[in-house]
């Protein structure tokens, strides 16, 4: 078979980490493209002139291989230097010398015939050569580490609940952690060997292995750029490369320590004293079990801090080698656990020949041992191992271990073939192709739905207490209905594909559809609530979704009493948050006219009012200096105007106290007509809230500047203050007197509030976790348990309960434990235990109160009445 070659200098030629590794391992020859050869040949006669020119510079040097490099690193360094010289197009015969040297595969390197090169070319090529090897090897190590962890899970009978990690689409989970968990699920799919043992080093696998994947990909992305940039473009390359290598080194150390923990646990679990002793003896001699991982990492960090970047990369490579040995030993020890019986049988012949006297023969019990059932992935990979090892015949234990470790040597071609087969195993498994949900969306399981239904019930009860009627509107609207209503947030509207008819968009909120409904139907007053999903093309993050519920309450119409609807809407918000019992919160409140007055007083041009308000609205997430930079550099405000704005937006405090300060004669606001009108309206509102005993929940905050274009009066926002969760705003609203009129009808003033129920759900779910509570997933009161296989009896008894209005389920199974497990899992308070013979011969059934652990025998004909008496006393 022809030897592989790497071509440099051609139009489509580029250097990759994998090709660097192939040449570094002497698995590929180097070929310079003919066009590059022409350039180099034309200048080769001028060697003396070139040398004379280059030696005049003190920064030029003879090519020498740094003495700290391994042979593999040295060859990588020379290949990167060769590629860099070709890219630079400098007239030199050095590339020819380097290519010839690499292809002759010497053990030492001399370059007497080569031209001088710059110090930058030498140092940068050293770093990039080692980094290319690290890039390639870290990706391979990541794959092997997942295989090792999967085998350890089965060897240790570990609880693998940590691998149930799914991409929730809300940014809560690391993509790489989710990927690791998915791959482990594939490898272990169908395994009967995993169990319920809580193993910390197994539970850490998604995070530790995910971190290696993440940082290995960062190194790979950086190397794709740097390997083909040339020295002229390499200013800052060393720092850029090393800043991605450092976190990789930290991740490798964690991987090694985590893998070592599992390997030691595997060693303890090897069956058979002599087998365990034999493997252990080799393990403690050859596996890096001391502080080598930590000391290697610390040495690398010190070199990084000292800016000795080439040596730093070398030490990271050394660290990777140590971690590789640990991971390989994890595989060996795990397989030794899983194949203990077979291993003794394989090694038996060697013992009989006196080759391995320490290995015991298989006992009768071991021979009869039930075959372990591995996962589809791990069993396929184990078959690959066994195929390789059994081809060598019966081995002494030491030889078996050495051969196994040799097979896992990443520098050998057969290991790359093995990795490709592992990739095929993972990708061909059907469970790998499980469907996913879009980012920014969620599924809700039974426990979550229980919480949601309870919350919706409370919300509807509060809304209906205030005389509102329910409304439902289409999930999509005409695009023209939504556009121009949300200011800068209009870019977040989901447009639907044009089907050759109307231009449509998914609703962004429930307020605009409500306004459209009022205008379309010619209503002049309407108090309604709506609980429905809305859609925003936002970047998913914690507490921020693309599909979510809103719970809206709005009052449209001109009230007989000024500020009456505004008061009621704020009052409703306090009732909602109190009755949902989420914990401490505050309602920040401001007035749109007050904001506009502030803008005018500070000297903001009228056409910039809305865009500056949009910037101010970010003050809960960013410092004023960041906001100031945005207002000045991006939105064209003067620094003096921005500083004036700062004096206002810092005002925050008790509503009545701050109001008193603003209405004082001579204040800036008192001189402004619009601001004065806003303060009078706020005075009415604050006094009403005080009389209603709700003013303590409200904070007057001039930095609140709701970004939506349609607000005209009072604006407010509720913020969760309790616990450690950072969920931000949980409700918001305000007055919008002109929105309904925008649809071509007469103006109908309105005010409303919208509850961000998804964030409220997150708080309620976390509270349950913190309190170690579990919501009942069903309302089932009775489980009819037929201990047999008579479905007709179950139908008869359960039917009687349903007819009597009792919430019941039935289960037909011969094993008593199955019934109790189901009742306990579903938290069903009562059971009707029905033994087929007993009910036929004696005409009785047994009622069981699970909470009180009381058994009651009752006639079959009276069991419904008896249960009703106890359920509904």
Structure confidence by residue, pLDDT tens digits, 74-124: 999 999 988 888 887 766 778 888 888 888 888 788 777 767 778 888 889
Which tokens go with 869?
């008496």
pLDDT tens digits, one per residue of 369-395? 456 788 888 888 888 888 877 665 555
Phi-psi region of 393 (alpha: psi -120 to 50; beta: other; left: phi over 0): left
CA angle 865, 866, 869 (to 5 degrees): 85
Burial of 51 (0-12, 13-18, 19+ CB in 10 A): middle
Average pLDDT, stretch 744-752? 86
Q: What is the mean pLDDT of residues 343-354?
A: 57
Out of 462-466, 540-544, 787-791, which region has the weakest mean confidence (pLDDT)?
Answer: 540-544
pLDDT in tens, 400-457: 788 888 888 877 777 888 888 888 877 776 544 567 788 888 888 887 888 889 899 9
Which residue did the predictor score with more confidence, 267 or 766?
267
Confidence of residue 718 (pLDDT cuts 50, 70, 90): very high
Average pLDDT over residues 336-350: 69
The pLDDT-based confidence of 708 (bands split at 50, 70, 90) is low
pLDDT number for residue 649: 84
Residue 44: predicted pLDDT = 46
pLDDT given at position 345: 63
pLDDT at position 724 is 54
Which residues fall within 8 angstroms of residue 308, CB to CB, at 6 or more apart? none
Cα–Cα dist 409/321, whole Å:
10
CB distance 867 to 807 below 8 Å: no
Q: Tell me the C-alpha to C-alpha distance, in Å, between residue 656 and each of 256, 652, 661, 777.
A: 62, 11, 9, 46
- Mean pLDDT across 634-641: 87
Q: Is the pLDDT of residue 54 over 50?
A: no
> Is the per-residue pLDDT at 338 higher than 50?
yes
What is the C-alpha separation between 367 and 341, in angstroms, rounded?
7
Kindly state the helix (H) or strand (E) to which residue 218 belongs, with its residue range.
Answer: helix 205-226
- Strand-pairing partners, residue 733, are 716, 753
Tens of pLDDT along 180-213?
Answer: 998 899 899 888 889 888 999 999 999 999 999 9
Distance CA 604, CA 637 (A): 7
State whether the Cα torsion 139-141-142-146 is positive or negative. positive
For position 433, what pLDDT does the model report?
54
The reported pLDDT for the residue numbered 451 is: 86
CB 519 within 8 A of CB 541: no
Distance between CA atoms of 802 and 634, rounded to whole angstroms?
67
- pLDDT above 50 (res 50): no
Region 607-613: mean pLDDT is: 82
H/E element, 762: helix 757-770
* Statement: residue 663 has pLDDT above 90: no
- Distance, in Å, from the CA atom of 327 to the CA atom of 58, rounded to the nearest integer, reads 47
Check residue 392 and give its pLDDT: 59
Strands 782-787 and 808-812: parallel
Q: Tell me the pLDDT band of 758, cut-offs 50, 70 and 90.
A: confident
Q: Say whether pLDDT at 356 is over 70.
A: no
- Confidence category of residue 347, pLDDT binned at 50, 70, 90: low
Name which residue leads in pLDDT, 231 or 603: 603
Q: In sequence order, what are the beta bridge partners of 599?
A: none
Cα→Cα distances 662→604, 716, 735, Å: 20, 18, 21
Which range among 31-35, 429-433, 664-668, 785-789 has the greatest average pLDDT? 785-789
Provide CB contacts within 8 A for 169, sequence distance 6+.
437, 438, 439, 440, 441, 442, 540, 545, 546
Average pLDDT over residues 175-183: 89
Confidence of residue 325 (pLDDT cuts 50, 70, 90): very high
CB 551 within 8 A of CB 705: no
DSSP 621-661: TS-HHHHHHIIIIIT---HHHHHHHHHHHT-EE-HHHHHHH
Sign of the CA dihedral with 363 first, then 364, 365, and 368 last: positive
Compare 6 and 744 and report the one with higher pLDDT: 6
Q: What is the pLDDT of residue 116?
A: 77
Say whether pLDDT at 365 is over 60. Answer: no
CA atoms within 13 Å, Cβ hemisphere of 854: 7
Q: Model confidence over 537-591: pLDDT tens digits?
A: 888 776 678 899 999 999 999 888 889 999 999 999 999 999 998 888 999 999 9
Distance (Å, whole) CA 524 – CA 395: 92
Predicted local confidence at residue 127, as pLDDT: 93
| Mean pLDDT over each residue of the chain, to the nearest integer | 84
Task: Please tell me the number of Cα atoms within 13 Å of 721 on its side-chain side.
Answer: 11
Q: What is the mean pLDDT of residues 638-661?
A: 88
Tell me the whole-structure pTM to 2 decimals.
0.56
pLDDT band for position 1 (cuts 50, 70, 90): very low
Rounded distance, CA 189 to CA 205, Å? Answer: 17
Helices 673-691 and 592-602: crossing angle, nearest 10°? 140
At 269-304, the pLDDT tens digits run 887 677 888 888 899 999 998 788 999 999 999 999
3-state secondary structure of 868: helix
The CA distances from residue 848 to 126, 782, 785, 857, in Å, are 77, 9, 11, 9
The answer to whether the beta carbons of residues 203 and 162 sit under 8 Å apart is yes
Q: Do 620 and 733 contact (CB within 8 A), yes or no? A: no
- Quote the tokens at residue 396: 């002494």
* Cβ-proximal residues to 565 (8 Å cutoff; 6+ apart), any chain: 555, 557, 559, 751
pLDDT of res. 76? 92
400 touches 372 (CB < 8 A): no
**pLDDT recorded at residue 48:** 39
pLDDT at 58 over 50: no
The 3-state secondary structure of 375-443, one letter per residue: CHHHHHHHHHHHHHHHCCCCCCHHHHHHHHHHHCCCCCHHHHHHHHHHHHHHHHCHHHHCCCCCCCCCC
| Residue 491 confidence class, pLDDT cut points 50, 70, 90 | confident
Higher pLDDT, 764 or 823: 823
Q: In a 10 Å sphere around its CB, with 0-12 CB exposed, 13-18 middle and 19+ buried, how is residue 336 labelled?
A: buried
Q: Which of 26-35, 243-252, 422-431, 536-545 has the highest mean pLDDT?
A: 243-252
Q: Give the per-residue pLDDT at 743.
A: 84
pLDDT of residue 727: 66
Strands 28-32 and 750-755 turn out to be: unpaired
Q: Are strands 782-787 and 830-835 parallel, antiparallel or unpaired?
A: parallel
């Amino acid at each position: 078979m022809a030897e592989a070659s790497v071509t440099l200098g051609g139009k489509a030629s580029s250097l990759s980490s994998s090709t660097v590794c192939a040449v570094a391992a002497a698995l590929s020859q180097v070929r310079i493209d003919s066009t590059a050869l022409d350039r180099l040949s034309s200048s080769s006669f001028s060697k003396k002139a070139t040398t004379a020119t280059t030696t005049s510079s003190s920064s030029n040097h003879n090519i020498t291989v740094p003495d700290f490099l391994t042979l593999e690193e040295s060859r990588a360094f020379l290949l990167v230097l060769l590629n860099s010289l070709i890219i630079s197009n400098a007239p030199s015969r050095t590339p020819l010398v380097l290519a010839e040297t690499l292809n002759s595969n010497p053990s030492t390197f001399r370059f007497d015939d080569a031209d001088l090169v710059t110090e930058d070319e030498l140092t940068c090529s050293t770093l990039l050569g080692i980094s290319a090897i690290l890039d390639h090897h870290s990706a391979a190590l990541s794959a092997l580490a997942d295989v090792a962890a999967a085998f350890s899970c089965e060897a240790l009978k570990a609880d693998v609940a940590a691998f149930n990690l799914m991409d929730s689409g809300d940014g809560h989970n690391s993509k790489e952690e989710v990927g690791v968990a998915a791959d482990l699920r594939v490898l272990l799919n169908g395994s009967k060997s995993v169990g319920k043992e809580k193993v910390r080093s197994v539970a850490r696998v998604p995070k530790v292995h995910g971190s290696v994947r993440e940082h290995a990909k960062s190194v790979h992305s950086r190397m794709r750029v740097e390997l083909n940039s040339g020295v002229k473009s390499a200013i800052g390359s060393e720092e850029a490369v090393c800043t991605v290598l450092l976190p990789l080194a930290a991740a490798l150390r964690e991987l090694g320590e985590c893998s070592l923990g599992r390997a030691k646990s595997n060693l303890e679990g090897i069956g058979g004293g002599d087998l365990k002793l034999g493997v252990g003896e080799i393990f403690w001699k050859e596996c890096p079990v001391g502080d080598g991982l930590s000391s290697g990492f610390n040495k690398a960090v010190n070199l990084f801090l000292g800016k000795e970047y080439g040596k730093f990369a070398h030490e990271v490579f050394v660290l990777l080698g140590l971690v590789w040995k640990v991971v390989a030993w994890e595989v060996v020890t795990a397989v030794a656990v899983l194949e203990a019986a077979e291993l003794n049988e394989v090694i038996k012949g060697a013992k009989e020949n006196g080759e391995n006297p320490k290995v015991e023969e298989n006992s009768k019990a071991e021979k009869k041992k039930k075959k372990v059932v591995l996962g589809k992935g791990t069993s396929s990979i184990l078959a690959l191992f066994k195929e390789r090892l059994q081809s060598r015949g019966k081995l002494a234990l030491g030889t078996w271990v050495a051969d196994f470790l040799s097979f896992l040597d990443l520098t050998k071609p057969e290991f790359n073939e093995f990795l490709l087969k592992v990739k095929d195993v993972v990708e061909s498994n059907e469970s790998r192709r499980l469907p996913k949900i879009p980012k920014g969306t969620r599924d809700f399981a039974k426990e979550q739905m229980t919480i949601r239904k309870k919350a919706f019930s409370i919300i509807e009860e509060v809304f209906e207490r205030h005389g509102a009627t329910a409304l439902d509107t289409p999930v999509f609207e005409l695009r023209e209905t939504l556009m121009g209503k949300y200011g800068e947030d209009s870019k977040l509207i989901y447009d639907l594909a044009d089907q050759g008819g109307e231009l449509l968009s998914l609703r962004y909120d429930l307020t605009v559809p409500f306004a459209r409904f009022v205008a379309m139907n010619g209503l002049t007053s309407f108090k309604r609530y709506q609980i429905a999903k809305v859609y925003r093309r936002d970047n998913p993050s914690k507490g921020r979704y693309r599909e979510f519920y809103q719970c809206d309450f709005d009052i449209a119409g001109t009230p007989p009493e000024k500020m009456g609807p505004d008061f009621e809407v704020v009052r409703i918000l306090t009732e909602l948050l109190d009755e949902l019992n989420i914990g401490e919160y505050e309602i920040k409140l401001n007035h749109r006219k007050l904001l506009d007055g502030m803008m005018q007083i500070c000297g903001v041009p009228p056409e910039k009012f809305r865009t500056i308000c949009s910037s101010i609205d970010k003050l809960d997430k960013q410092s004023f200096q960041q906001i100031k930079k945005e207002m000045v550099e991006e939105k064209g405000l003067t620094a003096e105007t921005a500083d004036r704005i700062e004096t206002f937006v810092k005002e925050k405090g008790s509503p009545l106290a701050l109001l008193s300060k603003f209405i004082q004669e001579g204040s800036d606001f008192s001189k402004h007509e619009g601001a004065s009108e806003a303060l009078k309206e706020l005075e009415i509102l604050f006094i009403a809230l005080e009389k209603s005993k709700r003013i303590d929940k409200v904070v007057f905050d001039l930095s609140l500047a709701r970004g939506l274009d349609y607000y005209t009066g009072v604006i407010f926002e509720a913020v969760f203050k309790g616990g450690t969760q950072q969920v931000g705003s949980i409700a918001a609203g305000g007055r919008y007197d002109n929105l309904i009129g925008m649809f071509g009808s007469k103006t109908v003033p309105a005010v409303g509030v919208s509850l961000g129920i998804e964030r409220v759900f997150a708080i309620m779910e976390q509270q349950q976790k913190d309190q170690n509570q579990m919501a009942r997933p069903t309302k089932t009161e009775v489980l009819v348990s037929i201990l047999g296989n008579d479905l007709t009896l179950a139908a008869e008894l359960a039917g009687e309960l349903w007819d009597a209005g009792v919430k019941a389920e039935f289960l037909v199974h011969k094993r008593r434990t199955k019934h109790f497990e189901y009742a306990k899992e579903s938290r069903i308070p009562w059971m009707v235990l029905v033994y087929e013979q007993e009910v036929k011969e004696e005409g009785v059934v047994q009622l069981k109160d699970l909470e009180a652990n009381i058994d009651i025998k009752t006639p079959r004909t009276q069991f419904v009445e008896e249960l009703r008496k106890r359920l509904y006393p």
